[in-house]
Chain A
Amino acid sequence: MAENNGYSLWYEFKKGLWQDIPPFRLVLGTCPTLAVTNSVINGFAMGMATLFVLLGSNIIISAIRKYVAPQVRIAAYVVIIALLVTVADMFLAAFFPPVSKALGPYVPLIVVNCIILGRAEAFAQKNPVAPSIADALGIGIGFTLSLMTMGFIREILGFGSLFNIKLIPPSLFEPWIVMILPAGAFLVFGTLIAIVNYISSRKSAEADKA
């Protein structure tokens, strides 16, 4: 990975929003993507919790990158990430009990979310603090937006509602139960990856022409 010589902070932030957007381009963190996106609010909460942990872990890991022996770095990262996840979990349980209940075991499971360890390993340990913050914000916001998109589609089709408010009367639209089941998550995930890949391939084809 390049040092922070040719790239601006803005670039590090922006790449998480489209070019490397998880989980569609950077296919990491698919477990929460499939498990908790049956409503927009759940997707948003999950994305925010991940953003918080990612930001904290990127900052700490990038700050201590020169003092940790490479042989033990993964163990050190896991301890740091576990600390931040515990904070996020307790915060949600204390201030947003319904959300914490809806997300269930998936908040503690952020510990093993590949995005966080992946960014630590691929970016934070090789870059100074400022680009690491930009990277964490970009990837975290991109992840949140992705989860909200998944939640939007699944909530509308699966419950006929949005933000837990019934939008479409049941007499007009029979909700698709499949969309709130795991199978629906896979269907929406696959469809969105296809759409993102399609747009990207058209973009790069246009760039080649120009």
Chain B
Amino acid sequence: MEDKTNDKTEVKSASEAPAGPGGERLFVTSSPHFLNNESVPKIMHTVVLALFPAMAASVYFFGFRALLLYAICIGACLATEYAFQKYMKRPIKIYDGSAIITGILLAMTLPPGFPVFGAILGSVFAIGVGKQLFGGLGFNIFNPALLGRAFLMATYPVLTTTWVEPRTVQKAVDAVSAATPLALMKFEHKLTPVLDLFTGNVAGSLGETSAIAILIGGLFLRYKGYVNWKLPLGYLGSMAVFSGIFWLIDPSKYPSPLFHLFAGGAMLGAWFMVTDMVTSPTTDIGQWIFAITGGIMAVVIRLFGGLPEGVMYSILFMNAFVPLLNKHTRPRVFGAIKAKAE
């Protein structure tokens, strides 16, 4: 396969090239001329694999309920994808894994006690409005899972912010309601130990508890080369620097950068949502601007906004700028001369 492509792109001298069907002697094919064995399903299934540690951690902390939410969200996402593709007479591509990822990520943004009908509604909105109405995979402007979560947050403001204490299932009590570390920080000014945040022994959404499990998955994706290092580094780095400035000004009032990095959805967002290939910029400068501004936004919302957590809105907000960033940070074509301003 590869040899054949290379042959075609070679510009042969007119004398030795065989005449084509129309008598032409020069074969020109469009780029890319280099093929490898990557494909959308392969990338997507690797991402699902990378999400396994975080899924396992959430099942450990929240028990059967977490497993149920994953199953519901994945099932509803696949069903919605199938229904839309069937109805719109598009090729049925539910096996490419992208809907599975949306389902897992959506479930990870939900609290463990979230009702089943809400999870289904969020999945239908995420895939239907967030993805298929825009034209399917590759055409969506916003990250579908985050859009589903934002819709649910506006639809059920109470249910999406009712948290339970981790590992209550094992302690043989129904559920103990609890506040997330970020809410504790914001409304009661209580700090949660960073070690608890790191291992995940805190209340929160399924995917925002264990920072280390997400980090393992994220680094695995980085090793496979599916994650552009600029995006998570820029996002987490700008969060750390920006929150660090406030921490240095007044450590008693503002939490440390480590707290910001490991609490809430920062890790999940930085590794699995900021890096979404469809909804992040394609140019180097664009990616830096996207990631750094997003990180600053998240800290601004956390410290000064009305909500305890700002990762979701920071990413959705920056998603909206991606077309603009792509347009204005386009690198100069090699050899092209800048037009003189008149």
Contacts and interface: CB of A to CB of B under 8 A. Distances in A.
A174 B154 contact: no
16 contacts: A174-B115, A174-B117, A174-B118, A174-B156, A174-B159, A176-B156, A177-B154, A177-B156, A177-B157, A178-B151, A178-B154, A178-B155, A181-B154, A183-B154, A184-B154, A187-B129
A174 B157 CA distance: 11
A198 to B, nearest CB: 12
Contacts, number: 19
B116 to A, nearest CB: 11
A53 to B, nearest CB: 33
Contacts of B117: 174
Contacts of A183: 154
A184 B157 CA distance: 14
Interface in A142-187: 174, 176-179, 181, 183-184, 187
Interface core residue of B118, B129, B155 (most chain A CB under 10 Å): B155
A181 B156 CA distance: 12
Interface in B200-254: none
Nearest to B129: A187
Identify the 10 closest CB pairs spanning chains A and B, nearest first. Answer: A178-B154, A178-B155, A176-B155, A183-B154, A177-B157, A177-B155, A181-B154, A174-B156, A177-B154, A178-B151
Contacts of A177: 154-157
A145 to B, nearest CB: 25
Contacts of B115: 174
A174 B160 CA distance: 13
Nearest to B117: A174
Contacts of A174: 115, 117-118, 156, 159
A178 B118 CA distance: 13
Interface in B144-179: 151, 154-157, 159
A48 B104 CA distance: 48
Contacts of A187: 129
Contacts of B159: 174
A81 to B, nearest CB: 36
Interface in B117-159: 117-118, 129, 151, 154-157, 159
A42 B185 CA distance: 42
A154 B120 CA distance: 20
B307 to A, nearest CB: 15
Given A178-B151, A181-B154, 15 more contacts: A174-B115, A174-B117, A174-B118, A174-B156, A176-B155, A176-B156, A177-B154, A177-B155, A177-B156, A177-B157, A178-B154, A178-B155, A179-B155, A183-B154, A187-B129
A184 to B, nearest CB: 8
